[in-house]
Structure 1
Amino acid sequence: MAHASDTIYALSSGALPAGIAVVRISGSNAETILADLSGRSVEPRVARLLTLKDPIGETLDRALTLFFPEGASFTGEPVVELHLHGGKAVLRAVLDAIGAYPRTRPAEAGEFTRRAFINGRMDLTAAEGVADLISAETEAQRRFAIRNAGGQQDALYSNWRSRLIEARALIEADLDFADEADVPGSVADTVLDQVHALSSTIEEHLRHARSGEILRDGFRVVIVGEPNVGKSSLLNALARRDVAIVSDEAGTTRDLIEVALDLGGYKVVLTDTAGLRETDNKVERIGIERAREAVQQADLVLQLYVAGTSRPEQLDGERPSVFVATKADLLRNQAGADFLISVSSNQGIAELLSAIQVRVQAEAGGSSVLPSRDRHIHHLRETVDALRRAEVPDLALELCAEELRIAADHLGHITGVIGVDDLLDVVFSRFCIGK
Structure 2
Amino acid sequence: MTGDTIYALASGTGRSGVAVIRISGADAGAALCALSGRDLPQPRLAKLVRLRDPGDGAVLDDALVLWFAAPGSFTGEDVVELHVHGGPAVVDGVLAALSRVQGLRLAEAGEFTRRAFENAKLDLTQVEGLADLIEAETEAQKKQALRQSEGELGRLYDGWRNELVRALAHFEAELDFSDEELPEHLHAAVMDRVRELHTQLLAHLRDGRKGERLREGVRLAIIGPPNAGKSSLMNALARRDAAIVSDIAGTTRDVVEVHLNLSGYPLLVADTAGLRETGDAIEQEGVRRARLWAEGADIKLAVFDALTLPALDPTTRDLLESDTLVAINKAEVAAVPIPDTIDGHPVWPLSVKTGQGLDELLTRLAELVSVRCRVSTDGPAPTRARHREALVRTADALERFLVRDNAQHIGAELEAEDLRLAARELGRITGRVDVEDLLDVIFRDFCIGK
Kindly provide the CA deviation profile for residues 84-134 of structure 1, in whole angstroms up to 9, marking residues without a partner as x. Answer: 112222222211221212221001111111111111111110011111111
For structure 1, which segment, 3-12 or 69-78, has the greater mean C-alpha deviation from structure 2 after superposition? 3-12
Instruction: Identify which of structures 1 and 2 has the higher relative contact order when contacts are C-alpha pairs closer than 8 Å and 6+ apart.
Output: 1
Q: How does 1:173-192 map onto structure 2 within 5 Å?
A: 173-185=173-185, 187-192=186-191
Change (3 A) 1:227 1:128: same
Q: How does 1:200-239 map onto structure 2 within 5 Å?
A: 200-208=199-207, 210-239=209-238
Counterpart in 1 of 2:148? 148
Quote the Cα distance in structure 1 between the aligned partners of 2:67 and 2:281. Answer: 63
| Partners of 1:27 and 1:77 within 8 A in 2 | yes
Counterpart in 2 of 1:388? 399
For structure 1, which segment, 226-235 or 195-204, has the greater mean C-alpha deviation from structure 2 after superposition? 195-204
Matched, 1:358 2:367: yes
Quote the Cα distance in structure 2 between the aligned partners of 1:269 and 1:35. Answer: 49
Alpha-carbon distance, 1:155 to partner? 0.6
Matched, 1:131 2:140: no
Quote the Cα distance in structure 2 between the aligned partners of 1:57 and 1:306. Answer: 72
Alpha-carbon distance, 1:194 to partner? 2.1
Counterpart in 1 of 2:241? 242
Counterpart in 2 of 1:426? none
Quote the Cα distance in structure 2 between the aligned partners of 1:334 and 1:91. Answer: 63
Quote the Cα distance in structure 2 between the aligned partners of 1:199 and 1:317. Answer: 37
Quote the Cα distance in structure 2 between the aligned partners of 1:246 and 1:33. Answer: 57
Quote the Cα distance in structure 1 between the aligned partners of 2:52 and 2:226. Answer: 67
Q: How does 1:30-429 map onto structure 2 within 5 Å?
A: 30-42=28-40, 43-55=42-54, 56-185=56-185, 187-208=186-207, 210-307=209-306, 308-311=309-312, 314-316=317-319, 320-331=323-334, 333-336=338-341, 337-366=346-375, 367=377, 368-393=379-404, 394=406, 396-418=411-433
Quote the Cα distance in structure 1 between the aligned partners of 2:318 and 2:270. Answer: 16
Quote the Cα distance in structure 1 between the aligned partners of 2:310 and 2:319. Answer: 21
Alpha-carbon distance, 1:30 to partner? 0.9
Alignment: residue pair count = 416
Letter in 2 for 1:322: L
| Partners of 2:218 and 2:267 within 8 A in 1 | yes
Helix, strand or coil at the partner of 2:71: coil
For structure 1, which segment, 330-339 or 66-75, has the greater mean C-alpha deviation from structure 2 after superposition? 330-339
Counterpart in 1 of 2:443? none
Quote the Cα distance in structure 2 between the aligned partners of 1:297 and 1:49. Answer: 55
Helix, strand or coil at the partner of 2:356: coil
Alpha-carbon distance, 1:189 to partner? 3.1
Letter in 2 for 1:365: R
Quote the Cα distance in structure 2 between the aligned partners of 1:244 and 1:94. Answer: 43
For structure 1, which segment, 170-179 or 25-34, has the greater mean C-alpha deviation from structure 2 after superposition? 170-179
| Partners of 2:224 and 2:275 within 8 A in 1 | yes
Helix, strand or coil at the partner of 1:302: strand
Quote the Cα distance in structure 2 between the aligned partners of 1:173 and 1:75. Answer: 39
Helix, strand or coil at the partner of 1:286: helix
Change (3 A) 1:81 1:209: farther
TM-score scaled by structure 1? 0.92
Quote the Cα distance in structure 2 between the aligned partners of 1:209 and 1:112. Answer: 34
Query: What residue ranges of structure 1 are gaps of 5+ in the alignment?
Result: 420-435
For structure 1, which segment, 360-369 or 269-278, has the greater mean C-alpha deviation from structure 2 after superposition? 360-369
| Partners of 2:174 and 2:182 within 8 A in 1 | no
Alpha-carbon distance, 1:180 to partner? 2.8
| Partners of 1:209 and 1:370 within 8 A in 2 | no
Quote the Cα distance in structure 2 between the aligned partners of 1:242 and 1:182. Answer: 73
Alpha-carbon distance, 1:314 to partner? 4.6
Helix, strand or coil at the partner of 2:209: helix
What RMSD over aligned residues (CA atoms) do the two structures have, in Å? Answer: 1.8
| Partners of 1:296 and 1:319 within 8 A in 2 | no
Letter in 2 for 1:391: L
Letter in 2 for 1:320: D
Quote the Cα distance in structure 1 between the aligned partners of 2:181 and 2:64. Answer: 67
Quote the Cα distance in structure 2 between the aligned partners of 1:109 and 1:401. Answer: 41
Q: How does 1:21-36 map onto structure 2 within 5 Å?
A: 21-36=19-34
Change (3 A) 1:19 1:203: same
Letter in 2 for 1:170: H
Counterpart in 2 of 1:433? none
Alpha-carbon distance, 1:293 to partner? 0.3
| Partners of 2:2 and 2:25 within 8 A in 1 | no
Quote the Cα distance in structure 2 between the aligned partners of 1:92 and 1:237. Answer: 42
For structure 1, which segment, 209-218 or 114-123, has the greater mean C-alpha deviation from structure 2 after superposition? 209-218
TM-score scaled by structure 2? 0.89
Quote the Cα distance in structure 2 between the aligned partners of 1:293 and 1:310. Answer: 25
Alpha-carbon distance, 1:345 to partner? 1.0
Alpha-carbon distance, 1:334 to partner? 2.5
Counterpart in 2 of 1:431? none
Alpha-carbon distance, 1:342 to partner? 0.5
Letter in 1 for 2:72: A
| Partners of 1:232 and 1:246 within 8 A in 2 | yes
Letter in 1 for 2:326: F
For structure 1, which segment, 201-210 or 380-389, has the greater mean C-alpha deviation from structure 2 after superposition? 201-210
Change (3 A) 1:49 1:71: same
Alpha-carbon distance, 1:198 to partner? 1.1
Counterpart in 2 of 1:428? none
Quote the Cα distance in structure 1 between the aligned partners of 2:427 and 2:393. Answer: 12
Query: What residue ranges of structure 2 are gaps of 5+ in the alignment?
Result: 435-450
Alpha-carbon distance, 1:327 to partner? 0.9
For structure 1, which segment, 87-96 or 277-286, has the greater mean C-alpha deviation from structure 2 after superposition? 87-96
Alpha-carbon distance, 1:78 to partner? 0.9
Kindly provide the CA deviation profile for residues 62-91 of structure 1, in whole angstroms up to 9, marking residues without a partner as x. Answer: 111111111111111111111111222222
Quote the Cα distance in structure 2 between the aligned partners of 1:318 and 1:417. Answer: 44
Helix, strand or coil at the partner of 2:31: helix
| Partners of 2:339 and 2:347 within 8 A in 1 | no
